[in-house]
Amino acid sequence: MADSELRLEITALPSLPEVRPGDDLGEFIARAAPDDLADSHVIAVAHKVVSKAEGRVRVLEQVTPADRARSLAADQDKDPRHMQVILDETQEVLRAEGGVMICVTRNGLVCANAGVDASNAEAGEVILLPVDPDESARRLRARIAELRGVRPAVVVTDSFGRPWRTGQTDVAIGAAGLAPIDDWRGRPDALGRTLRGTAIAVADVVAAAADLARTKDSSQPAVLVRGLGRFVAPADGPGAAALRRAREQDLFR
């Protein structure tokens, strides 16, 4: 095949205002996005601001931990109220050892602490994941399109750890308009041989890459990715739900 002329460009949008429950995050993003915003672009948004705008925040003072939360909190050296919030978001605890809790969230994500986190939260509060991050992505996409007249794809991101490897990478917990997976299975490789088992988790890779365009102490939750038009479609598509491996196909639960 001829050389591809793909060029990816990844830049953070300017700082957004501090986001509070009820804020119109789509408008914040639409205002911050550059003049050349296009249908072919992807905007990756850290879930923290999505969750804040959606009111997915809990004040620890208002949480009463039950026995299970108290007991797990003691084992895990965590605040029992924080533990209660984690359990409220969890459908199954896969592991709880040495201060690390790996949970299956109510919508099927597998991650530490069911995604409940105090970083970038106000003191005494914790931030939850959006109830339905694909729906959050679809709403943001629609709002940006309404305000800007173009319809870039939207990815909602969170930082997940991984078994077997140190460090975290951002993954797509929600997506709208971006093909979550680029499936090459059955297609030929460069030598004309059929590729097996090659399906790139595009939305996760976009989420991860976007995080390199900002620093963790910046207030730049939204990042613009240019050059992935081949994966962007007018329809919102299956979303990041397609990236959750079905339990029966998972060897590590």
Residues 69-108 that bind a second copy (CB under 8 A): 95, 97, 100, 102
Is residue 16 within the footprint of a second copy (CB under 8 A)?
no
- Using the contact rule CB under 8 A, the part of the chain among 22-30, 53-61, 142-150, 169-177 near a second copy is 169-177
Is residue 40 within the footprint of a second copy (CB under 8 A)?
no
Calpha distance 233→56 (Å, rounded) = 29
Q: Of the candidates 25, 105, 136, which has an alpha carbon nearest to the alpha carbon of residue 33?
A: 25
Is residue 200 within the footprint of a second copy (CB under 8 A)?
yes
Amino acid symbol at 142: A
Is residue 35 within the footprint of a second copy (CB under 8 A)?
no
Calpha distance 117→176 (Å, rounded) = 24
Kindly state the helix (H) or strand (E) to which residue 157 belongs, with its residue range.
Answer: strand 153-162
Is residue 20 within the footprint of a second copy (CB under 8 A)?
no
**Terminal alpha carbon distance of the chain:** 41
Q: Which is nearer to a second copy, 13 or 144 (CB)?
A: 13
Is residue 68 within the footprint of a second copy (CB under 8 A)?
no
How open is the CA angle 191-193-198, to the nearest 5 degrees?
Answer: 105
Is residue 196 within the footprint of a second copy (CB under 8 A)?
yes
Selected binder of a second copy within 140, 155, 171, 175 (CB under 8 A)? 171
Residues near a second copy (CB under 8 A), total: 78
DSSP 53-84: HTT-EEEGGG----HHHHHHHHHHT--HHHHH
Is residue 181 within the footprint of a second copy (CB under 8 A)?
yes
- Using the contact rule CB under 8 A, the part of the chain among 33-41, 55-63, 83-91, 185-193 near a second copy is 185-193
Is residue 243 within the footprint of a second copy (CB under 8 A)?
yes
